[in-house]
Structure 1
Amino acid sequence: MTKAPSPRKKAAPKVPVKAKRTAKAAPPPKKKPAPRKKAVPKPKSKPVLDIVMAASECAPIAKVGGLADVVYGLSGALQSQGHNVEIILPKYDCLRTDHIDDLRMEMEELWVPWYEGAIHCSVLAGSVHGRDCLFIEPHSDENFFFRGAFYGFDDEPYRWAFFSKAVLEFLLQSGRRPDVLHVHDWQTALVPVLLYEVYAHNGLDKLRVCLTIHNFKHQGTEDAGILHATGLGRPEYYFDPQRMGDINPAFINFLKGGIVYANFTATVSPNHAWEVRHTDQSFGLGQVLHIHQDRFGGILNGLDYDMWNPAADPLIHCPYDSRDVDGKYGNKKALRQRFLLQESYRPIVAFVGRLDAQKGLPLIRHALYHSLAHGAQFVLLGSSPDPAIQKEFEQLKWQFNDNEDCHMELAFDEEAAHLIYAGADMMVVPSVFEPCGLTQMIALRYGTVPIVRAVGGLADTVFDWDYSDIPQDDRNGYTFHNADLPGIESALNRAIALWNHHPRAFRWMIENGMKQDLSWSGPAGHYVDVYQYIRHK
């Protein structure tokens, strides 16, 4: 494997030799001058970086999941810290162009080598809420990104291999030479492979790559045909298990290649970085992470504080903040009115999110039953891409249709989500695995006490009111460890009991969560440190 080229070391500056002086008689003693005050050195400001992000999603124009929010939030935070950021995306036919300002042609003739020929592309530019974006539009019979959806096609590896190659070809042909190229998930994990095997020899030798993995479950595998399409060739070379060879010897693995070739690989929370190295949550990539552990770490995602701000949220009934949380009770009343819940003195427990196996479906169902049996109300907002799971929850909704303490909305509704975060007292997040998690962060921001399984980013952000070893002023929720019924029952019981018998302590916990800084400011600073590290490595 061709290693990433190292920057040349600067020669140490030569120290001039002083000429010898002729000795002279000592002058008469003078009055000793007052000691000078040492000048306080001015702190050195970090240099401005030119950063390009390449990803398959960016909110709000191309959003399927949390990846879109990360690309949008991180790029904005980096810009606010003074860095130059461009985001490169595919030009999907289903882009939300109503969020793109000043859409214009950036490059009409981009030819991307593909098989024995080349595919003609155009590159458009525009601004998405202040973020500079570039959109690569291929003109070919494959119609890579003109399919009415972002994902879900049989040729996914070919679509993203082409996009990865197009990103590097655009940087090469446009003359852009950023300091760092930041890529995300398996869809762009082929970028560092192509860079160091091809493009570093053709003019991009100083470019460094950071890869962020949001979900290890999706890795991108394909047979040797992809090597022919991209011009990498040499199957025997790339199928080596130390490079891109998958567990299945008939395939190469995009994400594995990204880890091997990237200058640094991050995942989305420190605890998840430990989990993927020491448990089965890496889905087979634990060994390659261990080999390259000196270039791997976890950086917690941030939360978009402009979108999620209870003090200025237009989608909730009453604004409030950590200094005065009384507005939360007005939102609780509005939530009950909207979902036809009875008005009574009892807590509201909620779940908001996608209904799939990762989220701990049996524990979500049990939380509903257990909450109702112990004097709480329960609301659920979410849907499932799996028809069987959707049908199962539709039957559950029908079962509780006439219950005045329960309401279920089996579709996503942005306004309803904001109102639930603002009006509920507790939020259950019983995930089987959760690399970072956004739900618990929003809940903390809105003063809704999270009840979470202590995995991934949930363990990095929620600290148990009763058992955490940190100061009480920093404790903000309830955690449980085993993905079983006794675990979630224990956490729910403790939360409901505190709400009923110690309301002042419960309010104290609410305020603790709302004061916690979960914005993108801190994570963006950590990424800048990574960028600086790999630039000088």
Structure 2
Amino acid sequence: MNIAMVSAECAPIAKAGGLGDVVHGLARALIALGQQVEVFMPDHDVLRRDLMGERHVVCRDLRVLFGQEWINCHVDRSEVDGIPCVLIDAAAPRRFFARGRIYGEPDDATRFAFFCRAVLTLMQASDRRPDLIHCHDWHTGLLPVLLAESDVAPALCHTPVCYSLHNVGYQGVVDPRLLSQVGLAPASLMTAERLRDPTHADAANLLKGGIVYADVVTTVSPRYAWEIQNTPQGMGLQDLLRIHEDKFGGLLNGLDERVWNPLSDPHLPASFDPEHLAGKAQARDALRARLGLGSGAKPILAIVSRLDEQKGVHLLEFAIRYAPRRGAQVALLGAALDPRIAARFERVQAASAGSADCRLVLAYDEELSHLIYGGADMILIPSLYEPCGLTQMIAMQYGTVPIARRVGGLADTIHDANFSDQPFTERNGYLFDDPTEDAVATALDRAFALWSRHPDYFRQLQRNGMRQERSWHRPAQRYLDIYRICSHSSPY
């Protein structure tokens, strides 16, 4: 199949979160299955150009109608880890993607709405005819709407669309006048059945548009699919998702085992696997040396997280204080976009600076993240909601036992050491339900007690997690099955 994947991110050249990893991992796995894949993405000025192959000009004069203005676009093509990437940039004076970051601009909705129209304009002009278009998150929600309700790409109007929801906490709620700028008619689209936001009657919802107009809608774990249909985690879209439940489901993400593999990771001092854990002890020593943690018979509790409310920052802050009092060490790696949260953790960092049992690195550091996953004994993930989560899967790959809240993909991938109906060989971590300090403390105490009193059992938990299959091969095959069903049912 010829698959066009449309996304704001693709790791490692553009990554603000898990979306970039998913697009990269899924695209590579589909290519390994013999499919033709192109990833269409903005040519952000923050792309890691050192990780890209040679750039080739596709065109320098792609004219995209936006409102009453024709905007000239530059389009290049390059490869990232064998993935063909088509990079679209708006020329001066617009420069929509020359902002020094991927997200966080006041005109994000305008920038990504333009990107959707530019992708379809390019496909029409360059005679690209994919068998299926796979769109990701709210940034691309207008693309299936444009296919059905505009004349931007008449040759593609029957092309099936798969639309993936990575986090419905971000929906792209916008002024309906934005629809006019991309050539749509707000009067016909601003209805409860189409794009009108369920909470703000005078606003359009781009994520909702993608759900309504796509041929199939997926999300990133079975548990999260149920939660966003049946609990407040649907963020106002519960009724809509139930209406469209016949085309909606959850598939667990995979993990790129070429990047995350303790047997071949260049960021570790020694390799290790489930049968030979001596290399993990060396990683623990290297982590302590790197961060200046004290030596001794203490477990290391890791926190590798984006620092925002979704991740349970109040519970992370509690654990940073609590774990050293219980004889553990803490290593945190994370950054916050919200200045209030950033200031909060800077105060925690300053207060713990003199401790030999606590280090906070308030930044994004890919190399250090590998060493933390490799050297830590446990990792805390107290998310208020978690669509899938790569953190727990990476941690288990490295023999680091997850301690997590029972939500979303965390509940799908972690089986509690004490309270699970799975056989012991399948148990791999600790779960708690309530987003409270008491619940976190109880889960931490259970993990610390097993580590100190029954080290053989703790090592078995580590091995259980490492032995599980979590590559992209199986989910990529399931996506391919979905694509084929969509293509066969399409009149195109």
TM score, norm. by length of structure 2? 0.96
Once residues 438 and 503 of structure 1 are traced to their aligned partners in structure 2, the CA distance between those partners, rounded to angstroms, is: 26
Q: Say whether residues 1:481 and 2:433 are aligned partners.
A: yes
Comparing 201-210 with 176-185, which one deviates more in the overlay? 201-210
Structure 2 equivalent of residue 182 of structure 1: 134
Could you list the runs of 5+ residues in structure 1 that have no partner in the other structure? 1-48
Structure 1 equivalent of residue 383 of structure 2: 431
C-alpha displacement of 1:402:
2.1
Structure 2 equivalent of residue 193 of structure 1: 145
Cα 1:508–1:400 change in 2 (3 A) is same
Structure 1 equivalent of residue 154 of structure 2: 202
Equivalent of residue 326 in structure 1, options 256, 268, 278: 278
Q: Say whether residues 1:397 and 2:322 are aligned partners.
A: no
Equivalent of residue 82 in structure 1, options 19, 34, 57: 34
Structure 2 equivalent of residue 384 of structure 1: 336
C-alpha displacement of 1:140:
4.9
Cα 1:383–1:264 change in 2 (3 A) is same
Once residues 375 and 354 of structure 2 are traced to their aligned partners in structure 1, the CA distance between those partners, rounded to angstroms, is: 21
Verify the 8 A CA contact 2:121 2:152 in the aligned structure 1: no
Q: Spell out, residue by residue over 1:31-59, the C-alpha distance to the aligned partner (whole angstroms, 9 max, x if none).
A: xxxxxxxxxxxxxxxxxx11001111111
Structure 1 equivalent of residue 448 of structure 2: 496
Equivalent of residue 104 in structure 2, options 152, 160, 175: 152
Q: Say whether residues 1:521 and 2:467 are aligned partners.
A: no
Verify the 8 A CA contact 2:120 2:153 in the aligned structure 1: no
Structure 2 equivalent of residue 239 of structure 1: 190
C-alpha displacement of 1:415:
2.3
C-alpha displacement of 1:117:
4.8
Equivalent of residue 212 in structure 2, options 255, 260, 263: 260
* SS of equivalent to 1:407: strand
Once residues 123 and 536 of structure 1 are traced to their aligned partners in structure 2, the CA distance between those partners, rounded to angstroms, is: 31
Once residues 343 and 478 of structure 1 are traced to their aligned partners in structure 2, the CA distance between those partners, rounded to angstroms, is: 25
* SS of equivalent to 2:355: coil
| Structure 2 residue identity aligned to 1:241 | A
* Aligned pairs (5 A) from 1:27-106: 49-106=1-58
Verify the 8 A CA contact 1:349 1:427 in the aligned structure 2: yes
Once residues 98 and 333 of structure 1 are traced to their aligned partners in structure 2, the CA distance between those partners, rounded to angstroms, is: 31
Once residues 287 and 245 of structure 2 are traced to their aligned partners in structure 1, the CA distance between those partners, rounded to angstroms, is: 47
| Structure 2 residue identity aligned to 1:131 | I
Verify the 8 A CA contact 1:179 1:206 in the aligned structure 2: no
* Aligned pairs (5 A) from 1:14-33: none
CA RMSD across the alignment: 1.6
Verify the 8 A CA contact 2:77 2:85 in the aligned structure 1: yes
Q: Say whether residues 1:413 and 2:365 are aligned partners.
A: yes
* SS of equivalent to 1:203: helix
Verify the 8 A CA contact 1:200 1:206 in the aligned structure 2: no
* SS of equivalent to 1:351: strand
Cα 1:342–1:100 change in 2 (3 A) is closer
Q: Percent identity?
A: 45
Equivalent of residue 454 in structure 1, options 406, 412, 415: 406
| Structure 2 residue identity aligned to 1:68 | G
Once residues 436 and 461 of structure 2 are traced to their aligned partners in structure 1, the CA distance between those partners, rounded to angstroms, is: 25
Structure 2 equivalent of residue 291 of structure 1: 243
Once residues 301 and 74 of structure 2 are traced to their aligned partners in structure 1, the CA distance between those partners, rounded to angstroms, is: 50
Aligned length: 488
* Aligned pairs (5 A) from 1:292-307: 292-307=244-259
C-alpha displacement of 1:236:
2.4
Once residues 453 and 104 of structure 2 are traced to their aligned partners in structure 1, the CA distance between those partners, rounded to angstroms, is: 50
Cα 1:152–1:342 change in 2 (3 A) is closer
Once residues 141 and 339 of structure 1 are traced to their aligned partners in structure 2, the CA distance between those partners, rounded to angstroms, is: 45
Structure 1 equivalent of residue 175 of structure 2: 223
Verify the 8 A CA contact 1:168 1:199 in the aligned structure 2: no
* SS of equivalent to 2:155: coil
Cα 1:260–1:407 change in 2 (3 A) is same
Could you list the runs of 5+ residues in structure 2 that have no partner in the other structure? none
Equivalent of residue 200 in structure 2, options 236, 242, 248: 248
Comparing 64-73 with 442-451, which one deviates more in the overlay? 64-73
Once residues 174 and 461 of structure 2 are traced to their aligned partners in structure 1, the CA distance between those partners, rounded to angstroms, is: 49
Q: Spell out, residue by residue over 1:269-311, the C-alpha distance to the aligned partner (whole angstroms, 9 max, x if none).
A: 1111011001111211111111101111111111111111111
Once residues 151 and 381 of structure 1 are traced to their aligned partners in structure 2, the CA distance between those partners, rounded to angstroms, is: 21
| Structure 2 residue identity aligned to 1:167 | V
Once residues 172 and 399 of structure 2 are traced to their aligned partners in structure 1, the CA distance between those partners, rounded to angstroms, is: 39
Structure 2 equivalent of residue 335 of structure 1: 287
Verify the 8 A CA contact 2:124 2:153 in the aligned structure 1: no
C-alpha displacement of 1:471:
1.4
Q: Spell out, residue by residue over 1:384-411, the C-alpha distance to the aligned partner (whole angstroms, 9 max, x if none).
A: 1222222222222222222222222222
C-alpha displacement of 1:199:
4.7
| Structure 2 residue identity aligned to 1:378 | V
Once residues 176 and 374 of structure 2 are traced to their aligned partners in structure 1, the CA distance between those partners, rounded to angstroms, is: 51
Comparing 352-361 with 439-448, which one deviates more in the overlay? 352-361
Comparing 338-347 with 159-168, which one deviates more in the overlay? 338-347
Cα 1:290–1:360 change in 2 (3 A) is same
Comparing 518-527 with 99-108, which one deviates more in the overlay? 99-108
Cα 1:334–1:293 change in 2 (3 A) is same
Once residues 91 and 350 of structure 1 are traced to their aligned partners in structure 2, the CA distance between those partners, rounded to angstroms, is: 34
| Structure 2 residue identity aligned to 1:530 | I
Comparing 165-174 with 447-456, which one deviates more in the overlay? 165-174
Once residues 153 and 369 of structure 1 are traced to their aligned partners in structure 2, the CA distance between those partners, rounded to angstroms, is: 34
Once residues 336 and 203 of structure 1 are traced to their aligned partners in structure 2, the CA distance between those partners, rounded to angstroms, is: 59
Cα 1:211–1:239 change in 2 (3 A) is same
Verify the 8 A CA contact 1:267 1:299 in the aligned structure 2: yes
Q: Say whether residues 1:274 and 2:226 are aligned partners.
A: yes
Cα 1:107–1:505 change in 2 (3 A) is same
Q: Spell out, residue by residue over 1:345-380, the C-alpha distance to the aligned partner (whole angstroms, 9 max, x if none).
A: 121111111111111122112222332222222221
Q: Say whether residues 1:508 and 2:451 are aligned partners.
A: no
TM score, norm. by length of structure 1? 0.88
Comparing 338-347 with 309-318, which one deviates more in the overlay? 338-347
| Structure 1 residue identity aligned to 2:344 | E
Once residues 269 and 256 of structure 1 are traced to their aligned partners in structure 2, the CA distance between those partners, rounded to angstroms, is: 19
